[in-house]
Amino acid sequence: MNKDYLWWRDGITYQIYPRSYADSNNDGIGDLPGIISKLDYIQDLGVDAIWLSPIFPSPDVDFGYDVADYTAIDPKFGTMADFDRLLAEAHHRDIHIILDLVLNHTSDQHPWFIQSQKSIDNPYHDWYLWANPKPHGDPPNNWQAIFGGSAWEYAPHLDQYYYHMFYKEQPDLNWRNPEVRQAMLDVFSYWLDKGVDGFRLDVFNMYFKDKALRDNPPKLGLRGFDRQKHIYDNSQSEMFPLLQEIRDILDQYPQSYTVGETFLADPAQTAAYCGEDKLHAAFNFDFADNRWHPKRFLDSATSWYQALPEDAWPNNFLSNHDCPRAATRYCFGEDDRRAKIAIAMLLTLKGTPFLYYGEEIGLRDIPIRRKADIMDPIGKTFWPLYKGRDGCRAPMQWRDEVNAGFSQGEPWLPVHENFPQRNVDQQASDPESLLNFVKKIIRIRRAEPALQRGDFTPLIQDPRRLLAFQRTYQDDQLIVILNFSSFNPEFQIPLGKWESLIEPGKPIPSTLSLKPYEVEILKKQHEPYPIEKDKR
C-alpha cells in the first residue's frame, strides 16, 4: 500500500445493516458472529472500513435507532465478547470499524428517560425536552415529528409534554444539560478506548433546538411536517462548539474519524459542519437524490466539492438504509449495466466511497405488497403513499440455498425472490458479474493514489451521455470515462500516451468510441526523456 495512505480518506467504507447481513444462530436476525463469518468476504472485496448500523440494546421501534444503552451490545446481535472479537478480527484484516451513534434521542426505554418521566423533581427530568402545555392544554409550539403528527407527547401525570422529532418512543435529549453533554462525550471515549475507529453521527444537527421554543413559520407542503420552515427545530449554532469538543476527543486517537448525517440541511449547511475543528465528513444527500443523468451527478459532485472547506474531504454514497437502493432506482429489471456505472462513479469520483451491503451484487429492494407485512412503522403510518424503508433492508443474498444462505430460520424480512440467480456465490463464479466488476474497479482504485486523493477536473464532452473527469496526484494523471447511455458516444482523448487500466495493453485511439454503459479508466504513460544528441 502506498505511503500516506489514510483509511478514511483513501479507502472505501461498507455499511452493514446488522439485522440483515448474516444470521449465525438462525433466529432470523443477522448478528455479530454472522458478520465475523463474512470478514474474509469483506476483506476480499477490498474495503477499508465497516460502518455498522446501531448494535446497541434497543426495543427496535426504529430498529436500533432507538437506543436503550449506549455502552452495551444488544443480545440479539451477540455479546460484548463478540464485539471485541469482531473488532480484533476486522483490525487483523486492516478493516476499520465505524459505529453509528444515535445521540439526538434515546429510546423511551432508556433508564434515563424512565427516570425522567417519573416526576418533575427527578434528577433526570431535565435530561429530556419537557415543556408545559399552552393555555387550554395545547402543545408548547407547532413543531411536528417527521414520522407523523405533533412532535410533542403529553404525559398526563406530569401535565407536561416531551419533544420527539421521530417516533414518540424516541424522546429527544436535552443537550443543553451539562450532564447529558458529558454522558454523551463519555460514549465517544468509551468506544474509542475499546479501539473503535470512527463514528457515524445520526442526525447530529438536531441536537439543539431553539431555546425559546418558537413556532416554525409556515410554508406550502403536503404533510404537516412539510408545511413548516424548519428553522427552530434543528441546526442551531450551539452545534459548532460541541463539534469542536467532540473533535478534541477524537483527535486524541490517531486516525479516528467522524462522519455526520445532517437532517433538513442543504449541501452548503452540511459542508459547514466539516473541517479540522469539526467533523471529518458529512453525507451529501443531494448527490444520492439525482436521477439518471451524468450532468446532474457531475453538478452535485462539483458543487459539493466547492461547498466544502479546504480542510475537509468529501465522501459519496448512493444507497443507505433509509432510501431505495441505487440499483432499484436506476436499473431496468435485473439488468446490472447501470449499477456498474453507478458504482464505478462512486469508486472514482473525488471523495470516500460509501457502499451499502449488497450494492456489490446489485441487491434490489424487496417489493412491499401489503400493509400488514410492513416492519418499519412509518410505512404503516403513511401507507400507501409511502411504504417505509423495509425495501432496502432485506437480507443479504449469499447462495442459492434456503433464505439465500442468510439464515436457516424465518428471516425478519423476506429475501428477494431473485436470490437463486442474484447471490454472492453465483456472481463470484461469473467473470462478467457486477461483483467481479466492482472488485476490479476497487483493485484499480487501491493501486492508484490519484483515484484516492487526487485532484478532480471535469472533462466535458457529450455531457448528456458521458461523465468524464481527470484525477491527478503528483506525477500521475488518470482519466475516467463513464458512458451513462446505451449509445456509442465518442470521446477525444487528450494528447499523450494513455494506457487502459480496465484492459491493459489495449490500443487507445485518439477518438474513443464507447460501448453502451462502458467504463474506461486511462492512465497517462510517462514518455522517456528525449536524449539530447550533442550531450551524448
| Dihedral (Cα; 415, 420, 424, 428), 10-degree rounding | -170
| Alpha-carbon distance values, 84 to 35, 80, 191 (Å) | 13, 6, 11
The grid coordinates of residue 383 equal 401507507
* 390 near ligand GLC (CB under 6 A): no
User: Please, what sign has the CA dihedral across residues 265, 268, 272, 274?
Assistant: positive
Q: Which residues contact 293 (CB under 8 A, 6 or more apart)?
A: 464, 484
Between CA 258 and CA 185 the distance in angstroms is 13
Whether 245 is catalytic: no
**Nearest to ligand GLC by Cβ — which residue?**
65
In the complex, the smallest distance separating the C-beta of residue 203 from ligand GLC, rounded to whole angstroms, is 5
Q: Which of 82, 261, 365, 518 is catalytic?
A: 261
Q: Which of 160, 172, 32 is nearest to 103 (CA)?
A: 172
Other Cβ atoms less than 10 A from the Cβ of 389: the count is 21
**Which of 12, 22, 29, 201 touches Ca ion by CB under 5 A?**
29
In the complex, the smallest distance separating the C-beta of residue 95 from ligand GLC, rounded to whole angstroms, is 22
In the complex, the smallest distance separating the C-beta of residue 389 from ligand GLC, rounded to whole angstroms, is 7
By beta-carbon proximity to ligand GLC, the closer residue of 69 and 476 is: 69
Whether the Cβ atoms of residue 391 and residue 323 lie closer than 8 Å to each other: no
**Nearest to Ca ion by Cβ — which residue?**
31
**Which of 180, 203, 272, 345 touches ligand GLC by CB under 6 A?**
203
Among ligand GLC, Ca ion, none, the one that 67 touches (CB under a kind-dependent 5 to 8 A) is none
| Alpha-carbon distance values, 293 to 233, 395, 507, 514 (Å) | 34, 30, 29, 17
Q: What is the maximum span of the chain, computed from C-alpha positions, in angstroms?
A: 99
Burial of 424-462, coded b for 16+ CB within 10 Å and e otherwise, reads: bbbbeeeeebbbebbbbbbebbbebbbbbbbebeebeeb
Among ligand GLC, Ca ion, none, the one that 65 touches (CB under a kind-dependent 5 to 8 A) is ligand GLC
Q: Which stretch binds Ca ion (CB under 5 A): 17-25, 127-135, 227-235, 280-288?
A: 17-25
**Which of 31, 48, 172, 376 touches Ca ion by CB under 5 A?**
31
Among ligand GLC, Ca ion, none, the one that 102 touches (CB under a kind-dependent 5 to 8 A) is ligand GLC
**Which of 6, 27, 418, 500 touches Ca ion by CB under 5 A?**
27
* 23 near Ca ion (CB under 5 A): yes
By beta-carbon proximity to ligand GLC, the closer residue of 184 and 478 is: 184
**Which of 5, 6, 25, 224 touches Ca ion by CB under 5 A?**
25
By beta-carbon proximity to ligand GLC, the closer residue of 62 and 74 is: 62
Q: Which residues contact 169 (CB under 8 A, 6 or more apart)?
A: 59, 61, 62, 66, 107, 108, 109
Q: Which residues contact 25 (CB under 8 A, 6 or more apart)?
A: 31, 33
Whether 359 is catalytic: no
* 365 near ligand GLC (CB under 6 A): no
* 102 near ligand GLC (CB under 6 A): yes
Whether the Cβ atoms of residue 69 and residue 191 lie closer than 8 Å to each other: no
By beta-carbon proximity to ligand GLC, the closer residue of 60 and 62 is: 62
By beta-carbon proximity to ligand GLC, the closer residue of 103 and 466 is: 103
Instruction: Give me the residue label for grid cell 443531494.
Output: 286
Residues 53-92 interacting with ligand GLC (rule: CB under 6 A): 62, 65
Q: Which of 153, 202, 286, 360 is catalytic?
A: 202
* 202 near ligand GLC (CB under 6 A): yes
Give SS3 for 76: coil
Partners of 483 in the beta sheet? 466
- Determine phi and psi for 492, rounding to 5 degrees: -80, 120
Q: Which residues contact 478 (CB under 8 A, 6 or more apart)?
A: 448, 450, 451, 454, 470, 471, 472, 501, 521, 522, 523, 524
By beta-carbon proximity to Ca ion, the closer residue of 25 and 109 is: 25
Instruction: Give me the residue label for grid cell 475516467.
Output: 480
By beta-carbon proximity to ligand GLC, the closer residue of 65 and 143 is: 65
The DSSP call for residue 173 is: B
By beta-carbon proximity to ligand GLC, the closer residue of 67 and 493 is: 67
One symbol per residue from 307 to 326: x for binding ligand GLC (CB under 6 A), - otherwise; what is it? --------------xx----
Among Ca ion, ligand GLC, none, the one that 25 touches (CB under a kind-dependent 5 to 8 A) is Ca ion
In the complex, the smallest distance separating the C-beta of residue 402 from Ca ion, rounded to whole angstroms, is 15
- Determine phi and psi for 155, rounding to 5 degrees: -110, 100
**Which of 70, 166, 297, 498 touches ligand GLC by CB under 6 A?**
166
Between CA 301 and CA 298 the distance in angstroms is 5
Total residues at the site for ligand GLC (CB under 6 A)?
9
The grid coordinates of residue 173 equal 435529549
Total residues at the site for Ca ion (CB under 5 A)?
5
In the complex, the smallest distance separating the C-beta of residue 76 from Ca ion, rounded to whole angstroms, is 6
By beta-carbon proximity to ligand GLC, the closer residue of 264 and 428 is: 264
In the complex, the smallest distance separating the C-beta of residue 387 from ligand GLC, rounded to whole angstroms, is 15
Query: Rule CB under 5 A: which residues touch Ca ion?
Result: 23, 25, 27, 29, 31
By annotation, the residues acting in catalysis are: 202, 261
Query: Rule CB under 6 A: which residues touch ligand GLC?
Result: 62, 65, 102, 166, 202-203, 261, 321-322
